[in-house]
Structure 1
Amino acid sequence: MKLSTRTYRGAAAAILAGGMLLTAGCGAGGQADRSSHSGEQRANDGSKPAPVPIAPDGGGGAPAEGVDGGSEGRQKDDALEDSRPAADYLSTFALDVDTASYGYARRTLADGQRPQPGDIRPEEFVNSFRQDYPRPKGDGFSVTVDGARPRGAEGEVDGEDWSLVRVGLSTRPSDRAGERPPAALTFVIDISGSMAEPGRLDLVQESLGILTDELRDDDSIAVVTFSDEAETRLPMTRLKASRERIHSVIDSLEPTDSTNVEAGVRTGYDEAVEGRRRGATNRVVLLSDALANTGETDADAILDRIDDARREYGITLFGVGVGSEYGDELMERLADKGDGHTTYVSTSRQARKVFVDQLPTHVELRARDAKAQVAFDPKTVKQFRLIGYENRAVADEDFRNDRVDGGEVGPGHTVTALYAVRLREGASGHVATATVRWLDPRTRAPHERTGSVETDAIDGALWDGASERLQVTAVAAYFAESLRGGSMPGAPGLGELAERAGTLAKSTEDGAVRQLAEAIRQAQRLRD
């Protein structure tokens, strides 16, 4: 069935990362740049249907309904076995570099509780880890497509021929922080009573205090606070000769009353528009537990204000979630509507990584409205399912309609999409072609780049010879599906998954993978 609308499920989020930050990597995969400047691709103005890489086969042996792109909801293996035909072999989604769902799940497990299934977004688990993709030389993307079989070289899971196919996209990191454009950042800070809990407002103040010292003299900051109503504490102010004043404003913040998120967002965007700087990166950064209980608490009403500012002024929203509890669905939807990204912080170390190591050098963008479309070959592929990205689905025909929102991606970021793919018996040859399309952040000229994969590139056994980073991707996806009550072909039990994560942590010497292994062990203990 064709994905005709972007859908939202009640899922987790806490806010910022993504366009201002994220992960790095290397790998391999065929690439071909099709820039509009070369005349090979032109933007679709939305008046004509966009061409598609592979035409449907009419439904013969097509993916099961609801699993054609994997973006219409979670399906268990019995649904994957459904023989009802799908309309096409395309999977289209907006890029997403959020990581908040994984961060909040780790915090919840560490507190001795299982996360709510609706708070789990597998793509945010997968995108929380460093990858091995090559970096492009220019300002676009590299495209890597690879894979492996989850249960040995024969690849059979319950008698069927399944593989995991990884689509990896990567951007070039900034060479030096000084090369980026100046930043005009409006911080919208929750000072409601719930922010008094340790690890909330105190962590926000510590983070912003450090950031104030890290940003450049030509950067600007505005500060808006909100509880039962919103207040501008600092209009847009250049950091040069104003750092002490900014520190004083941040240090003076104290928790007060209820949480009126709508007032904070509205005032924050008003301030961002008023202080908007041409030639700068203009962003609103929302820091909150998002437990809205006063004013407008419906997400749609708040989203209207964000959408207007995004479209008219190009001001994007990023969010940082804090606290042991917070309004997950609201924050995730706000960030998506504001062309932004989310992250979650619960410790000083995490906050320093977000605000000090990543934010100052990653306030610029490499791509606006970025989308991916993966075209599976009906000659070799019987079924496929995208793991996660349910609320980032885009209609197939809107892939080249540049009026339809995509995702924002910054320097040095990677985006990973993992598919469960069932091959036809005896299939050999082309499996899929992945295309990423984006707009230049400054000129809004469209660009595309592609990569493809053949059957021989996904024949290897996942746990015996596949790249370590592909194995980490699989572990993260299997873990997320387990937490939300779904399943994937070849899914190990939590015990085996914890062992594999532990082995990968040692071989990669990656602390993030070690934390993943611990989170899986915590989930196993809670289940037992």
Structure 2
Amino acid sequence: MKIHRLLPLWGLLVAAWLLPACHQQYSTETVVQSEVEAMPLVPDDAMAAPTPATPDASREGYAIIHENPFLAAARNPLSTFAIDVDRASYANVRRFLTQNRQLPPPDAVRLEELVNYFSYSYPQPRTGPASLQAEVATCPWNPAHQLVLVGVQGKQVPVEHLPPANLVFLLDVSGSMNEPQKLPLLKESLRQLVRESLRPQDYVAVVVYAGAAGVVLPPTSGAEPEAILRALDGLEAGGSTAGGEGLRLAYQLAQQHQRPGTNTRIILATDGDFNVGEQSAADLERLIVQERESGVFLSVLGFGAGNLQDHTMELLADKGNGNYAYIDQLQEARRVLVQQFGGTLFTLAKDVKVQVEFNPALVREYRLLGYENRLLAAEDFNDDRKDAGELGAGQQVTALYEVVPVAAPAASPASVDPLKYQASQPTPAATNSQELLTVKLRYQEPAGSASQLLTLPVRSVRFDEPIARASDNLRWAAAVAQFGLLLRKSPYAGTATWASTAALAQSSASPDPDGARTEFQTLVQQAMELDQETASR
């Protein structure tokens, strides 16, 4: 008998033990919280039943997102966050719009993952692993405000120059994976990685877990692809889920075959129905944190619908210094595992943090779009012990701030009395400066501990600098962010409409080699139609 619906409780436990360990503003609530008490026990054989054409999203688990508010620059001059290069939310939103023919739950929409799904034209770093870029223009959904783009570009490294990979595929073959968009899609996705990305110097092992965990394939060279493919072809779904046991076994295998100078990583592929098993949730967290310090990172691939536990998979990848991707179709698997092979599997810099200091002489208020579960305390920026995000080879990170100039009305009502014991007026240096803000970035080398610092001052622009004169980078990022605000039905969406979002996207003329930007415009149209249908009902 499998406790098939126990995962929402596991997700709540994960969030509960992560909260004291960090200063990130991450909600421990989930949208499936109310289901825990009423979940029935489901026999193993029931797992083989096919899901309906439109899965019930109410059984999926998403962490509640409390959108970042506007903050007064005079009292909160520093905005600090860990970078996030996950893109799972965009692929999941696409699945809702195209396969389910319904709008996604608002908490499935993470703005930073939508914006970072796309590539931008940022300059390559001249020295070091990363470069910084910033730009300012009028905010399209609130013309009285300004929109600031902050871009980070990781150094491109040719695949042949990447270090050897030591990969352990940890695959969920429990009964809940017995659906076309789960184990069959998972197997075909990994086939692409084996056929097109693996090199002779790379090694792959396969560990599976269901009722028990076991090694299906010992570490095997990429020079023997047929042996790896045979192991994948023989996988079948069935049984309950012993995820904790499988994760422990995968780490043991990775450690046993870890070699100096290699990139050692576990790739966990699951629908998220990840019961802890005999190990406690706290033991699993300690295991993941301990192993990341030894250089074994954990990335997560999510599959399927109906019981997708998004919040759990995102947290596992976050604590494991890895990426989280959602695979809704074979083309997405190719994008993640083949086209973005280096960025997905090879870490260029770890514990990457961004801190923006706003000039209160020019900025009344500001708001960071997204990154709600990546926020850090201001003092964490200079603390090299504080875990943050990872930047892969060639990866990019894009963040957007909505800024209220001092000449514009306040975006949020004043709720704090004037300070009695300290000055609240900008210093003469701030008043005389033309700098709107300064962006700082800290990172550590993958095997290092002392961080490096990059700094970029950003000058103010004309208050009425139109978005039409902005770069394609800013216009496209603004269109995608506006799309997310509308999907979330955000109170910060201002004058945004589906039509204005489509027009802003069409105004960008950047190359579209993989068709992702053309697909986005189709998604905007589908979302508009579904929103209109919902309103008419």
Normalised-by-shorter TM-score class: 0.7 to 0.9
Any conservation in 2 of the 1:11–1:121 contact (CA below 8 Å)? Answer: no
Q: Does 1:7 align with 2:11?
A: no
Q: Does 1:468 align with 2:472?
A: yes
Instruction: Letter of the 1:320 partner, please give it.
Output: L
Shift of the alpha carbon at 1:335?
0.5
Aligned to 2:39: none
Instruction: Letter of the 2:67 partner, please give it.
Output: R
Any conservation in 2 of the 1:381–1:421 contact (CA below 8 Å)? Answer: yes
Task: Provide the C-alpha distance between the structure 1 equivalents of 2:297 and 2:28, rounded to a whole number of angstroms.
Answer: 22
2:207 match: secondary structure: strand
Task: Provide the C-alpha distance between the structure 2 equivalents of 1:117 and 1:519, rounded to a whole number of angstroms.
Answer: 16
Alignment of 1:500-515 (within 5 A): 500-504=504-508, 508-509=511-512, 511-515=515-519
Task: Provide the C-alpha distance between the structure 2 equivalents of 1:221 and 1:132, rounded to a whole number of angstroms.
Answer: 34
Q: Does 1:103 align with 2:91?
A: yes
Instruction: Letter of the 2:324 partner, please give it.
Output: T
Any conservation in 2 of the 1:287–1:321 contact (CA below 8 Å)? Answer: yes
Residues 432 and 89 of structure 1: is their aligned pair in 2 closer, same or farther, counting only changes over 3 Å?
same
Task: Provide the C-alpha distance between the structure 2 equivalents of 1:525 and 1:362, rounded to a whole number of angstroms.
Answer: 34
Alignment of 1:7-86 (within 5 A): 7-9=25-27, 73-74=66-67, 80=70
TM-score (norm 2): 0.78
Q: Does 1:378 align with 2:360?
A: yes
Give CA deviations for 1:107-151 in whole Å, capped at 9, x if unaligned.
Answer: 111121221122221100010111121111233221111121025
Instruction: Letter of the 2:302 partner, please give it.
Output: G
Shift of the alpha carbon at 1:445?
3.6
2:120 equivalent among 124, 131, 151 = 131
Shift of the alpha carbon at 1:378?
1.1
RMSD (Å) for aligned C-alpha atoms: 2.6
Give CA deviations for 1:340-360 in whole Å, capped at 9, x if unaligned.
Answer: 111122222221222222226
Task: Provide the C-alpha distance between the structure 2 equivalents of 1:442 and 1:139, rounded to a whole number of angstroms.
Answer: 14
Task: Provide the C-alpha distance between the structure 2 equivalents of 1:90 and 1:524, rounded to a whole number of angstroms.
Answer: 37
Shift of the alpha carbon at 1:94?
0.6
Instruction: Letter of the 2:299 partner, please give it.
Output: F
Q: Does 1:210 align with 2:192?
A: yes
Aligned to 1:247: 229
* Structure 1, gaps ≥5 residues long: 13-71
1:225 equivalent among 203, 208, 211 = 208
Residues 11 and 321 of structure 1: is their aligned pair in 2 closer, same or farther, counting only changes over 3 Å?
farther
1:271 equivalent among 244, 247, 253 = 253
Aligned to 2:80: 92
Task: Provide the C-alpha distance between the structure 2 equivalents of 1:490 and 1:440, rounded to a whole number of angstroms.
Answer: 41
Alignment of 1:122-201 (within 5 A): 122-151=111-140, 157=143, 161-174=144-157, 176-201=158-183
1:455 equivalent among 460, 468, 479 = 460
Moved more, 277-286 or 446-455: 446-455
Higher RCO structure (Cα 8 Å, ≥6 apart): 1
Aligned to 1:521: 525
Residues 360 and 425 of structure 1: is their aligned pair in 2 closer, same or farther, counting only changes over 3 Å?
closer
Moved more, 508-517 or 93-102: 508-517
Give CA deviations for 1:29-79 in whole Å, capped at 9, x if unaligned.
Answer: xxxxxxxxxxxxxxxxxxxxxxxxxxxxxxxxxxxxxxxxxxx9415xxx6
Task: Provide the C-alpha distance between the structure 2 equivalents of 1:347 and 1:489, rounded to a whole number of angstroms.
Answer: 30
Task: Provide the C-alpha distance between the structure 2 equivalents of 1:182 and 1:507, rounded to a whole number of angstroms.
Answer: 34
Shift of the alpha carbon at 1:92?
0.5
Task: Provide the C-alpha distance between the structure 2 equivalents of 1:491 and 1:412, rounded to a whole number of angstroms.
Answer: 35
2:347 match: secondary structure: coil
Instruction: Letter of the 1:356 partner, please give it.
Output: V
1:232 match: secondary structure: strand
1:355 match: secondary structure: helix
Moved more, 435-444 or 286-295: 286-295
TM-score (norm 1): 0.80
Shift of the alpha carbon at 1:518?
1.6
Q: Does 1:116 align with 2:116?
A: no
Task: Provide the C-alpha distance between the structure 2 equivalents of 1:452 and 1:441, rounded to a whole number of angstroms.
Answer: 27
1:235 equivalent among 184, 197, 218 = 218
2:132 match: secondary structure: strand
Give CA deviations for 1:467-490 in whole Å, capped at 9, x if unaligned.
Answer: 122111011111112222324364
Any conservation in 1 of the 2:342–2:393 contact (CA below 8 Å)? Answer: no
Moved more, 514-523 or 386-395: 514-523
Give CA deviations for 1:352-384 in whole Å, capped at 9, x if unaligned.
Answer: 222222226763322111101000011111100
